[in-house]
Amino acid sequence: MFILENISQLETAIAKALKIRPRVQFVNFGRYQVSGSKGYYTVVCRKDESGQKVVACGCKGAEKGLVCYHAVSALSLHIGLAKQRQTATI
C-alpha cells in the first residue's frame, strides 16, 4: 500500500507504465492481476474503514511504500469500471 505524498510519485509510475504497457486482468471489482518482471502481481483498490481510497500491490516496491506502475495500471482500469458502474445506476 502506498500513500501519495506528491504528484511526482504518480507521474513517475505512470511514465513507467506507459513505457512497459503491463497487462491488467480483471479478477473482480477492486481486484486485478498485473504483469510484472516476476510474473503477475495482485493489486487491490478499495476504501478503508475511514473511507480513504487505498491501492495495494503485492510487488516489492509497493511493500516499501513506493507508487508502482502495477498499481497505477490497475487503478486506471478500476476508475473506468467505477465510472461505468456509477453511470449504470443513474
pLDDT of residue 54: 86
pLDDT along the chain (90 residues), means of 10: 73 94 96 95 91 89 91 94 82
pLDDT of residue 90: 60
pLDDT of residue 13: 92
Query: Looking at the domain assignment, is residue 76 inside a domain?
Result: yes
Query: Looking at the domain assignment, is residue 1 inside a domain?
Result: no
pTM recorded for the entire structure: 0.85
pLDDT of residue 17: 95
Residue numbers of the domain that contains 62: 7-88
Per-residue buried b or exposed e for 72-88, using 16+ beta carbons within 10 Å of the residue's own CB: bbbbebbeeeeeeeeee
Query: Looking at the domain assignment, is residue 2 inside a domain?
Result: no
Q: How many domains does the chain have?
A: 1
